């Protein structure tokens, strides 16, 4: 059974519909990439899954066996669906440590939280070095690391990442994708949204192509990487 | 109002009115915190906040009336009545503030900012009229339960009375407690997180509506504490005290940088000094104008206030 199963997700802003019957699954242990051009609706999809944008009637989102399409955001996080949002959205005037603690807001198991904090600092040592500094003082790459580590502090079953490579230097991008692969090898399921399609498809098991709010293609990531249409539209070839 | 002991020494006058100013300022701070915390979290200037404070003082006044307390009597009984006033006015103001948010502001959370603002002005008028109905249009005497005796002895050159001490004794511990809560507890950190980025806070699993309700509760509770302290300190209340003190406190919050908690306290101490020293060196009837002038000057030249960040990263 899929960990996440989206059927006919419709969502938008006010009178405008952005998502047009998006259907998608993520199995436990998978990395799934969603690629698409500017404004295709990738962020809207993740925000609808997190309950920030309300899915419209007829949408069905089943996560870990439960319908979550009408739950408030905090209930969704509590069930194990966390996201590192586009643009990082760290809390600039909270310390790095406070940001990470906010990631664990729904948890009460203090020893587990302490252990996960130690893991974050092992994964991204710079966050440990700067833990008492205001997060707004971190560089872009460090903020991205913080956003990912913060989402992991919820100890999610499925981690959603929105454009983790945006605006970062190439070697940092590689570092971040390697962390994502390590997490996955430890059992974390990942849904990643990227404009950097080549990178995302290289690391993912399966992929979806989103065009103006509709899923137009889905296949194994290796197949998409060689598909002529994908190569032309998203890999710049 | 304590009088200064030695009118002939200008330095003593200055010192005396500085003490009075800081005492009053700490009272304004309790009210200013309610403006600034609510603004910090929902970007609403809660114009009804001063009037909430006024209603709190009427709750205390009514309770004393029910027990037939009109003036100081047995000190132990008086202390009990004072505690009873706090125990009633604090939850009353907290609950009323939360209720107004729930019923009036929350449905307008995603509406243009003008909608809740206009509603807040409406709530302010409603509260003021309730106060008018409750206490009448005249000033009423709030029982003088705390001593005006100079703690330094009646012949000392500086007056610092039991009343002044009471104000400090109420305001300072509350401000310390608030700081500890906001800085060191999980809910307090969630409050700061929600103020900085409500969407991100939701993505952390923070129920932002609970956080907002908590903020209104704390702001209301502080106003409730301030209202009883005010009654015991000034000994005159009326339906209009919310407007004047609300204006002073609001100006304090803007002066410190609206949304900034230490800023509100700093701003309130400065406004306290301006009101107190202004009454000696400029004249009592000019103090409101002076405070208004400060408000306008800040809004024009430094809208972010003394401690506020110049650029807000709100989207
Ligand atoms: N808050 C909003 N209000 C109104 N329209 C919005 C809002 N956010 C996004 N949109 C619109 O919804 C559409 C999809 O946007 P979305 O952000 O989901 O795209 P995206 O695939 O994430 O794009 P990008 O690659 O640029 O991040 C766009 O047309 C965008 O203009
Ligand atoms: Mg996007």
Task: Collapse the DSSP code of A164 into the 3-class scheme (helix H, G, I; strand E, B; otherwise coil) and give the result.
Answer: coil
Interface probe with A: pick from B106, B197, B203, most Cβ of A within 10 Å: B203
Q: Is the dihedral of CA A209, A210, A211, A214 positive or negative?
A: positive
- Residue A84 pLDDT greater than 70, yes or no: yes
Contact B192, B182 (CB under 8 A): yes
Q: Which protein residue's CA is at the shortest distance from atom 7 of ligand 1?
A: A13
Which sign does the torsion angle of CA A139, A140, A142, A147 carry? positive
Q: From the CB of residue B60, how many other CB atoms can be counted at a distance below 10 Å?
A: 28
Q: Which pLDDT band holds residue B311 (cuts at 50, 70, 90)?
A: very low
Residue A166 and residue A86 in contact, taking contact as beta carbons nearer than 8 Å? yes
Which band of pLDDT confidence, cut at 50, 70 and 90, is reported for residue B291? Answer: very high
Which residues, including other chains, have CB under 8 Å from residue B315's CB and lie 6 or more apart?
none
Average pLDDT on B73-82 reads: 90
CB of B189 less than 8 A from some CB of A: yes
When CB atoms are compared, the residue of A89, A94, A154 closest to B205 is A154
Q: CB distance A91–B196 less than 8 Å?
A: yes
Residues facing residue A22 across a β-bridge: A9
Distance, in Å, from the CA atom of B216 to the CA atom of B196, rounded to the nearest integer, reads 17
Sign of CA dihedral A39, A42, A48, A52: negative
Q: What is the pLDDT of residue B7?
A: 62
Chains A and B: how many Cβ contacts under 8 Å? 67
CATH hierarchy code of domain A4-90+157-234: 3.40.50.300
Strands A4-13 and A60-63: antiparallel
Percent of chain B residues past pLDDT 90, beyond the cut: 83
CB A8 within 8 A of CB A20: no
C-alpha closest to that of A48 among A36, A37, A38, A60:
A60
Cα distance between residue B127 and residue B121, in whole Å: 10
Question: Which of B196, B201, B207 lies closest to A93 in CB terms?
Answer: B196
Residue A15, burial from CB neighbour count under 10 angstroms (0-12, 13-18, 19+): exposed
Q: Indicate the pTM of the whole model.
A: 0.93
Residue A104 pLDDT exceeds 50:
yes
Listed by start position, the domains of chain B span 33-238
With residue A8 as reference, give the H or E element that holds it.
strand A4-13
Question: Is ipTM beyond 0.90?
Answer: yes
* pLDDT surpasses 90 at B72: no
Nearest CA to ligand 1 atom 3: A13
Q: Is B192 on the interface with A (CB under 8 A)?
A: yes
Segment B166-217, tens digit of pLDDT: 999 999 999 999 999 999 999 999 999 999 999 999 999 999 999 999 999 9
Using a CB-CB distance cutoff of 8 angstroms, which residues of chain B are in contact with residue A52?
199, 202-203
> pLDDT per residue over B234-259, tens digit each?
999 999 999 999 999 999 999 999 99
Can you give the pLDDT at residue A1?
A: 78
pLDDT at residue A59 tops 90: yes
For B26-44, the pLDDT digits (tens) are: 999 999 999 999 999 999 9
Percent residues over pLDDT 70 in chain B = 96
Sort out which chain B residues have CB atoms less than 8 A from A89's CB and list them: 197, 199-200, 203
Contacts of residue B132, defined as CB under 8 A and 6 or more positions apart, other chains included, come to: B239
pLDDT at site B71: 82
């Amino acid at each position: 059974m899929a960990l996440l199963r989206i059927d006919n997700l419709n969502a938008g802003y006010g009178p405008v519909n952005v998502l047009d019957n998006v259907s998608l699954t993520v199995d436990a242990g998978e990395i799934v990439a969603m690629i698409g051009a500017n404004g295709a609706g990738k962020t809207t999809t993740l925000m609808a899954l997190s309950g920030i944008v309300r899915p419209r009637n007829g949408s069905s989102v089943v996560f870990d066996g439960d319908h979550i399409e009408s739950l408030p955001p905090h209930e969704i996080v509590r069930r194990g669906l966390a996201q590192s949002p586009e643009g990082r959205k760290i809390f600039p005037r909270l310390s790095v440590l406070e940001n990470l603690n906010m990631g664990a807001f729904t948890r009460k198991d203090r020893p587990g939280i302490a252990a996960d904090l130690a893991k974050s600092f092992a994964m991204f040592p710079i966050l440990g070095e700067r833990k008492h500094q205001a997060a707004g003082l971190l560089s872009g790459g460090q903020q991205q690391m913080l956003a990912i580590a913060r989402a992991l502090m919820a100890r999610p079953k499925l981690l959603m990442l929105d454009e983790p490579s945006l605006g970062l230097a190439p070697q940092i991008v590689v570092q971040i994708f390697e962390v994502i692969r390590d997490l996955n090898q430890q059992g974390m399921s990942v849904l990643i949204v990227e404009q950097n399609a080549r990178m995302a498809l290289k690391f993912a098991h399966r992929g979806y192509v989103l065009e103006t709010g509709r899923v137009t293609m889905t296949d194994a990531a290796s197949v998409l990487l060689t598909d002529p249409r994908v190569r032309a539209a998203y890999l710049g070839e | 109002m304590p009088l200064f002991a030695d009118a002939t020494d200008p330095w003593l006058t200055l010192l005396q009115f500085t003490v009075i100013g800081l005492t009053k300022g700490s009272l304004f701070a309790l009210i200013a915190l309610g403006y600034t915390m609510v603004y910090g979290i929902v970007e609403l200037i809660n114009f009804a906040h001063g009037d909430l404070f006024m209603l709190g003082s009427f709750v205390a006044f009514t309770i004393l009336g029910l027990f037939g307390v009109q003036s100081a009597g047995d000190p132990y009984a008086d202390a009990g009545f004072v505690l009873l006033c706090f125990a009633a006015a604090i939850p009353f103001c907290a609950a009323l503030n939360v209720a107004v948010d729930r019923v009036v502001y929350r449905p307008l959370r995603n509406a243009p900012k003008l909608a809740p603002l206009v509603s807040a002005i409406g709530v302010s008028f409603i509260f003021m009229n309730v106060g008018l109905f409750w206490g009448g249009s005249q000033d009423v005497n709030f029982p003088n339960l705390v001593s005006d005796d100079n703690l330094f002895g009646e012949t000392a050159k500086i007056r610092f009375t039991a009343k002044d001490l009471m104000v400090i004794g109420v305001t300072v511990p509350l401000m310390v407690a608030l700081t500890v809560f906001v800085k060191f507890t999980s809910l307090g950190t969630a409050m700061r997180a929600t103020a900085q980025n409500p969407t991100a806070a939701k993505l952390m699993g923070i129920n932002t509506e609970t956080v907002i309700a908590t903020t209104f509760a704390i702001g209301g509770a502080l106003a409730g504490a301030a209202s009883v302290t005010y009654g015991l300190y000034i000994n005159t209340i009326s339906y209009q005290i919310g407007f004047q003190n609300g204006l002073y406190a609001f100006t304090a919050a803007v002066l410190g940088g609206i949304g900034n908690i230490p800023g509100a306290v700093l701003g309130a101490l400065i406004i306290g000094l301006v009101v107190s020293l202004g009454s000696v060196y400029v004249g009592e009837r000019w103090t409101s104008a002076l405070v208004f002038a400060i408000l306008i000057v800040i809004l024009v030249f430094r809208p972010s206030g003394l401690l506020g960040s110049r650029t807000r990263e709100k989207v």
